């Protein structure tokens, strides 16, 4: 009933149209911080050392970030067409996550690698990003996947990713990690294993 009432109000205000509503789906809304887990998978590395968590970033979203800074009474008096915030990504910042959450992050990365191999031979190679939300009970929810360099890796270009820096003992951006992988593959005559 609430869905129908709110949908009708949004239609009447012109915030959405009927075609958009017809294609809409209801998803779980998880309350918690949003983190992008920036991984690198190396088919060249020894077994057990193939997955690296290079770094983590979080997003700045417009108009959501502006909404949350308004006191609740002001949020409630906004015009109807502004009451639902947009979540357009306009920037990123570097982050780290609790140490107790790192093991689960690696489990998620390993599961993604396994699934990618099952569905898209040869599977993921190199950088990928799992876009997650973490709830109050420390549960991860993956809401999107970027099978490539994530946009948030830009914040690490000059200084490297925190976890990648610790692993490699030098500044390690995603770009530098890709370059290292290509160099290792060329030196080992294994380029076909890292190129598709």
Same domain, 10 and 78: no
Same domain? 24 vs 79? no
Whether residues 2 and 90 fall in one domain? no
Percent of the chain with pLDDT over 70: 99
Query: Which residue range is the domain that position 5 belongs to?
Result: 1-30
Q: Are residues 76 and 132 in the same domain?
A: yes
Rounded to two decimals, the pTM is: 0.83
Q: Is the pLDDT of residue 21 over 80?
A: yes
118 and 187 belong to one structural domain = yes
Shared domain check, 95 and 23: no
Q: In this structure, are 12 and 45 located in the same domain? A: no
Q: pLDDT tens digit string along 23-70?
A: 888 778 899 999 999 999 999 998 778 999 999 999 888 888 888 889
Please check whether residues 19 and 36 belong to one and the same domain: no
pLDDT for position 12:
93
**1 and 80 co-located in one domain:** no
Report pLDDT for 186: 97
* 120 and 45 together in one domain: yes
Q: How many domains does the chain have?
A: 2
User: Residue 157's domain is classified under what CATH number?
Assistant: 3.30.470.20
Residues 58 and 83 in one domain: yes
**Cβ atoms < 10 Å from Cβ of 19:** 8
For the stretch 106-122, pLDDT in tens is: 999 999 999 999 999 99
| Mean pLDDT (whole number) for 181-188 | 97
State the pLDDT at residue 85.
Answer: 85
- Identify whether residues 23 and 60 lie together within a single domain: no
């Amino acid at each position: 009933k609430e869905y129908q009432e709110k949908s009708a109000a949004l239609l009447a205000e012109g915030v959405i149209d009927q075609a958009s509503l017809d294609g809409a789906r209801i998803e779980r809304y998880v309350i918690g911080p949003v983190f992008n887990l920036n991984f690198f998978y190396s088919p060249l590395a020894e077994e057990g050392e193939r997955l690296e968590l290079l770094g983590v970033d979080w997003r700045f979203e417009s108009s959501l970030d502006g909404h949350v800074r308004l006191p609740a009474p002001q949020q409630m008096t906004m015009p109807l067409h502004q009451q639902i915030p947009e979540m357009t990504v306009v920037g990123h910042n570097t982050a780290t996550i609790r140490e107790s959450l790192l093991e689960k992050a690696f489990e998620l990365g390993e599961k993604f690698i396994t699934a990618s191999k099952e569905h898209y031979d040869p599977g993921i190679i190199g950088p990928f990003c799992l876009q997650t939300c973490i709830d109050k009970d420390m549960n991860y929810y993956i809401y999107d996947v970027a099978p490539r360099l994530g946009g948030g890796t830009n914040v690490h270009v000059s200084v490297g990713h925190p976890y990648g820096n610790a692993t490699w003992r030098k500044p390690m951006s995603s770009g530098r990690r890709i370059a290292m992988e290509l160099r290792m593959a060329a030196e080992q005559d294994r380029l076909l294993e890292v190129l598709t």
